[in-house]
Every structure is written in structure tokens, then in C-alpha cells.
Amino acid sequence: MSKGEETRGRIVDRALRLASRDGFRGLTIGTLAEELGLSKSGLFAHFGSKDELQLQVLEAAVDRFKRDVIRPGLEAARGEPRLRAFFDNWLRWGNDRQMPGGCVIVAAAVEFDDQPGPQREMVEKAQRDWHAALAKAARIAVDEGHFRADVDTRQLAFDVQSIVLGFHHAKRLLREPNAERWAKEAFDRVLAWASAAPTLAGANAGHGSTPGRATRSSSAERMRGRGEISRD
């Protein structure tokens, strides 16, 4: 690696921390130059524009997510253990002290969701790829006999993503001390529902049911039995 590449890498590292703390709207050539104690002209030589800076920082964030979350998860056994490894790695990633504002990819998704352009396209692709990886892990869990054959694996991937987004919201915005425990318990409930082993959730859920639907249906049946609601 050349000296110039090393310097660029250090700049991107600091820019990633800055984006995590202040958001991508706060990440400009000027703010980064001030943070690093460098001249704007020096940073322009590396990036050329604010958009290019943001894109390179997003690319670095996605690469690190793959390094810290996906690749270690792929070393776990196929099926449910791999899905659990993905989830645990994702929570650790969100708690990484090198990113003071939490998951920078989640922050970027919030900032760029309604802003057409290359930044949004990069975040969208990363999120779609991650959803596909979670769904694939769930499909393998079905093939391995860990999950029921009727589990909607894309729905399960959505549920897992929703749990982590809720964790990020509760931990970062609400400063909820129970956020991580709640997230882990919610994840365990999703896996228990999907499990091929006989559980209360699995026994109550009908074909193609989603988590929680069985409980609502059972409550409705009890109310019908008491004459509180009609079947029509």
C-alpha cells in the first residue's frame, strides 16, 4: 500500500466516525478538513467533491459491515446457527465504539431514503443484499430441518431487520437501557416461532402464519366462545 493510499485510508476512517456522529449531511470537505486539521485543497486532491467523499465513506462502511458482520457469520454452521451469528454480529456492530453514533448504514438509510442519487442507490443495494443474505440463511435453516417448511423466509428476514432497527432507535434515540435485551428476546421469539421443533408458538400457528397471529386468533376464538363477537 502506497503512502497516499494509507493517508486516504486514515482520512476515510475519521470521516466514517464523523458521519456516524453528525450524519452524512454534516460530512463535507470543510468539516472533515477542520476535524483533521488539514486544508480543504488537500482533501479535494483525495476526493474532489462532497458527493465523492460521501460515496467513499459509504463504501467503506459497507466493506466493514461485510468484514465484521457477514464474513464471521458465514463461518458459523449452516442454518439457524448462521442466522443467529449474523444477528449477534449485527448488534455488536451497532455497539462499536469506533462509531459513536451507532450503525452508520442505518443513519445513511434514514438520511438518503427520499433523496435520489448515487448515495441512495448504494445504501439501497447494501440493504437489499443484506436482506437477501438473511433470507438465504433462513432458507438453509428450512433445508437443514431447523425451521418449518412453511416459513416465509423473506418475512423472517424482514422481522430480523425490524428488530435491529428497533434496537437502534431505542438505544440511540430513547437511551433505553433494556434495548439490547429486548432485541435479543424478540429475536429468540422469531426463531422459536419458525422452529421445526414442537413449541407453543409453532403448534398454535396455522400454515403460513406470522409471529403473533396465532395469539390474536386464539383470543378471538375465546371471545367467540363467550359470545362477545360474531363469526361474520
pLDDT, residue 173, reads: 92
- Structural domain of 101: 3-197
Flag whether 231 is in a domain.
no
Tell me if 39 is assigned to some domain.
Answer: yes
Q: Is residue 149 part of a domain?
A: yes
Within a domain: 99: yes
Q: Is residue 80 part of a domain?
A: yes
Q: What is the pLDDT of residue 46?
A: 86
Q: What is the mean pLDDT of the chain?
A: 86
Domain count, the chain: 1
Q: What is the pLDDT of residues 65-91, one digit of tens each?
A: 999 999 999 999 999 999 999 999 999
d(CA 135, CA 181): 23
C-alpha 35 chain-centroid distance = 28
The cell numbers describing 139, all together, are 432458507
Q: Which of 86, 99, 91 is nearest to 129 (CA)?
A: 86
On whether residue 211 sits in a domain, the answer given is no
For the chain, residues with pLDDT lower than 70 are: 1, 4, 198-232
d(CA 166, CA 101): 15
Is residue 10 included in any domain, yes or no? yes
Note the pLDDT of residue 190: 97
> Residue 159 maps to which CATH number?
1.10.357.10
232 occurs within a structural domain: no
Under 8 Å between Cβ of 103 and 111: no
- C-alpha span between 32 and 13 (Å, rounded): 11
Instruction: Please tell me the distance from the alpha carbon of residue 161 to that of residue 126, in angstroms, as a whole number.
Output: 13
